[in-house]
Amino acid sequence: MIFSFLVRRAINASRRMLATSSCRTGNPIDDCWRCDKGWDKNPQHLAECAIGFGNNATSGKHGKIYKVLDTKDDPVNPKPGSVWYGVIQDEPLCITFSQDMVIKPKQDLRTNSFKTIDGRGANVHIAGGPCINMHSVTNIIIHGINIHDCKREGEGDVRDSPRHAIRRKKSDGDGISITMSSHIWLDHCSISRCPDGLIDASHGSTTITISNNHMTDHNKVMLLGHSDSYKKDRKMQVTIAFNHFGEGLGQRMPRCRYGYFHVVNNDYIHWQTYAIGGSAAPTINNQGNRFLAADERFNKEVTKRENTPEYIWKKWNWRSEGDLFLNRAYFIPSGSTSPELYANANSMEA
């Protein structure tokens, strides 16, 4: 239990520093930029603060600052000053917001490569329509955006670059959908109440970090991997770190297929079915998480192997190291504990 003690000591130290109004929080991402009083003059610096498998997401680091001025939404012919106009551009951009705003997309907000969408300094909501879609892109950062109440709607034309528009069917209703994409970092977002998943990544997507997000009020939270038959997801690597999985969540925090997953220093509260699950032999490396089970006697197990007999799943490499289990929560490990077999699922120091 030395590992858990170190995690608790770090949390307590972080709280003491916050109480003395220090810019240091104990969170490596926040400590990277919060002590810079001029961070709003150089938002591109945020890209240097990433951790985990998505830490090479340069995104808008080498681009100009593009400021969103209003909530106007024209997915086919977007105008300068709208978020649509910024996200479809070909060149790297760091997209910031001039004021608090609620953006209700008519179509998926389809993001081009090398973009940072940075909500720091404003209260920005994307809600009430189709939400964020990344398809066949690379180097995306989404930071500090409230994403909620997304909808399954929006069939029609949508522009995905200055020169190209495509015909889209209705949105699946994900908060954030990632397909065939790489070098993605999702940080400090609040995500809730979507008809499909809050975050889904599939179809060969990889090198992703999901960190510091607050997720509530949803059943199937996070799907990583398309299907048990889609073997291109074997290369998937995802870091899930410092997230708060809060009230009203059912399952899939995450649900993994194939690939390698580092689940580290997260806080789980009162899952309704299970917290961490999977199929198709994913490697899951759990370190330093806190699991607080609900009071219901049948909602204590953290893990679930989907549609697989025990003689098969007992060979999958799932381990728990330094996790804190409260209110009789428990984790069923499987496979080997050899560190070498978790090398591809180890993305940062816990």
From CA 26, how far away is CA 15, in angstroms rounded? Answer: 8
Which tokens in the block code for residue 139? 């180097």
Q: Is 255 a catalytic residue?
A: no
State how far the Cα of 322 lies from the Cα of 311, in Å rounded to an integer: 26
Q: 54: which strand partners?
A: none
Specify the amino acid at residue 244: H
User: Taking Cα atoms as reference points, which of 47, 236, 262 lies closest to residue 141?
Assistant: 47
Residues 123 and 119: their CA atoms lie apart, in Å, by: 7
> Which pairs count as long-range contacts for 292-300, CB under 8 Å and 24+ apart, including other chains?
292/267, 292/268, 292/326, 292/327, 292/329, 293/325, 293/326, 293/327, 293/328, 293/329, 294/270, 294/327, 295/327, 299/270, 299/271, 299/272, 299/273, 300/327, 300/328, 300/329, 300/330
Catalytic residue among 252, 255, 257, 319: 252
pLDDT tens digits for 204-231?
A: 999 999 999 999 999 999 999 999 999 9
Residue 32: helix, strand or coil by DSSP? helix
Contact 320, 286 (CB under 8 A): yes
Pairwise CA distance, residues 182 & 56, whole Å: 10
Q: What is the pLDDT of residue 133?
A: 96
Going from the N-terminus, what domains does the chain have, and what CATH number goes with each?
A: 1-35 (no CATH), 39-345 (2.160.20.10)
What's the rounded Cα separation, in Å, for the pair 58 and 115?
A: 8
Q: Which residues contact 342 (CB under 8 A, 6 or more apart)?
A: 283, 285, 317, 319
**Contact between 75 and 259 (Cβ < 8 Å):** no
Tell me what pLDDT residue 128 has: 96
How far apart, in whole angstroms, are the C-alpha atoms of residue 14 and residue 212?
A: 15
The pTM for the full model equals: 0.93
Intervals of the chain under pLDDT 50: 1-21
Q: Give the pLDDT confidence score for residue 22 in this predicted structure.
A: 65
3-class SS at 119? Answer: coil
